[in-house]
Every structure is written in C-alpha cells, then in structure tokens.
Amino acid sequence: MSRLKRQFRQLLQDTQLVGPGKSLSEVAIFFLGRECFTGLTEKEKQEIYDEHQSTLRCIARRDFLELLLENAESLVHFENSQVTTDDIVAINSRLQNEPRQAFLSAFCYAYSQVEWRRHIVKENKVICSTKCN
C-alpha cells in the first residue's frame, strides 16, 4: 500500500469531523491541501473513504446495540418483533439523554424504520442483523 493511502487512512481516523453517514464530498473540504488527499486519484480516495465509513457504521451499530442492551428493561414489552413507529419514537425519547446518542443520531437517522426493526428485538433478545468486520 502506498504511503499516501496509509496517510489518508490515518487522517480519516484522526479527524473528528468525519461521522458515520457523511459523504466524501461533504468532508473533502477539510482535506484540501493535504498531500495524502490531493495525491490520490478520486477512485483511491473513495475506496479508502468507503472502508472508513464501513468501520464507522460498524462502531455506530455496536454502540447503538450497547445502548439498547443497557436499556433492555424498556424493550421487554415487545413481542414477536412487532415494533411500531410509536415504539421507535418512545425508544428514541428514552435514549435522548444518553451522551452517545448525539454521535449515533446521524447514523441512526439514516436507517429506515425497516432496518431499525431488524435491530430491535427478536424473541426478547436484542439482535444485530449485520456483523462487524
């Protein structure tokens, strides 16, 4: 792997400006003038950025599930995975005071209700439908 690719990966890891769900075009302005950014092709930048986003999504999923597990007592009334939109709103209002919720909101907002339901409860157990790499 080239030095520029390694440096761009490290830059993405080190910056707090890149959150889950943000596109490369949204954050590219923060990297202008950096050799590790300008020296790569658009394809190389996008591939590295997509890998970084995948990692961020995985971390956000894990943190979200951790939040749900810590608040499992408020989820036990769901049966047969029948989670309504009102249930999701209630869960969000319970979790809004959690410090991690602010970081997760960008990621969770991007999820459709169908994807949220896949993550909530199945047979009174919190599940994750997607494994982290």
Chain segment 13-56, per-residue pLDDT in tens: 998 888 888 899 999 999 999 999 999 999 999 999 999 999 98
pLDDT on residue 88: 77
pLDDT on residue 115: 47
Q: Can you give the pTM of this predicted structure?
A: 0.64
Chain segment 77-116, per-residue pLDDT in tens: 665 667 778 877 877 777 777 766 665 665 555 443 334 4
Q: Exposed, middle or buried: residue 61 (CB in 10 Å: 0-12, 13-18, 19+)?
A: buried
